[in-house]
Amino acid sequence: MIQCDSPYGQRNLSGCALTGFISRSGRRYSGDVIKKSICLLNDRGNGLGAGFAAYGIYPQYKDLYAFHIMYDNESAVATTEHYLHRHALIEHQELIRTHPVPGMEDHPTLKRYFLLPRHTEGDGAAARSEEQALQDDDLVVRMVMEINDRIEGAYVFSSGKNMGAFKGVGLPRDMAEFYRIDEYEGYIWTAHHRFPTNTPGWWGGAHPFTLLDWSIVHNGEISSYGINKRYLEMFGYRLTLLTDTEVITYLFDLLVRRHGLDIRTACTALAPPFWKDIEVMPEPERQRLTLLRQVYASAALNGPFAVLFAYNRGLVGFNDRIKLRPLVAGVKGDMVYMASEESAIRTICPDPERVWAPRAGEPLIAELYEGAVEREPAVEATA
CB atoms within 10 A of CB 123: 14
Asked if 185 and 379 count as a contact pair (C-beta separation under 8 A), the reply is yes
* Distance, CA of 229 to CA of 226 (rounded, Å): 5
87: left (phi over 0), alpha (psi -120 to 50) or beta: alpha
HSE-CB at 198 with a 13 A cutoff on CA atoms is 8
* Distance, CA of 246 to CA of 59 (rounded, Å): 27
Q: Which of 16, 39, 267, 349 is catalytic?
A: 16
Contacts 24+ apart (CB under 8 A), 332-336: 334/23, 334/24, 334/25, 334/27, 334/369, 335/21, 335/22, 335/23, 335/24, 335/383, 336/21, 336/22, 336/24, 336/364, 336/366
Peptide bond into 282 cis (omega under 30): no
* Distance, CA of 77 to CA of 149 (rounded, Å): 15
Number of H helices, E strands in the chain: 10, 19
Direct distance between the N- and C-terminal alpha carbons of the chain, in angstroms, rounded to an integer: 38
Residue 4 annotated as catalytic:
no
Residues in CB range of 263: below 8 A, 6 or more apart: 256, 314, 316, 363, 365
Sign of the dihedral defined by the CA atoms of residues 203, 99, 63, 122, in that order: negative
CB atoms within 10 A of CB 244: 24
Phi, psi of 224, rounded to the nearest 5 degrees: -90, 15
Tell me the catalytic residues: 16
